[in-house]
Amino acid sequence: MIEAKLKTKSNFVGYLGIKNYSRIEQDLILPTVRRFFLAQEIQAYKVINEQAGFADLDFNRYNFDDFFAHFYDFIVNGIKKNGDNVEIVVTYCITLDEENCSKTCDKTHIRYDEILLYQQPVFYFIYVDRKDIFSCLRTMPVVGSTVIG
């Protein structure tokens, strides 16, 4: 049941394989993300490329140089200057690991953590509980042994 993700940069990012991912994404993940960023008053955000995902364990002194280049390529590189304004499209990733999310949003109660650049968030880990994923799966109509979605 555990699948190797050989193209990922991190050795520490966990994935959950679900056949009908689009329903989980539409019914659980995207609404969670929208609600979270609305509460944070952030309008411009994007999900990190799947192969670029990382975890707290990637921040160690043994591979920091390699990780920093990765961080620049996928997060900081998207920051642009437009006249006198700096435009930041915040990047996020969904995590199944509570250890990556030490904070809880006061308005939504969604667990998260952030990486700041000069006191400005540039990256968010947003936690989705596996229990919520299975609850969402259980609400999908089933015909025979096939989940319809």
pLDDT tens across the length of the chain (149 residues)? 444 444 555 544 445 566 667 788 899 999 999 999 999 999 989 887 655 445 555 555 555 566 666 566 666 667 788 888 878 889 898 888 888 899 999 999 999 999 888 888 988 989 999 899 888 888 876 555 554 45
- The full set of domain ranges for the chain reads 21-147
Exposure string of 135-148, with b = 16+ CB inside 10 Å and e = fewer, is ebbeeeeeeeeeee
* 117 CB-near residues (< 8 Å, 6+ apart): 76, 79
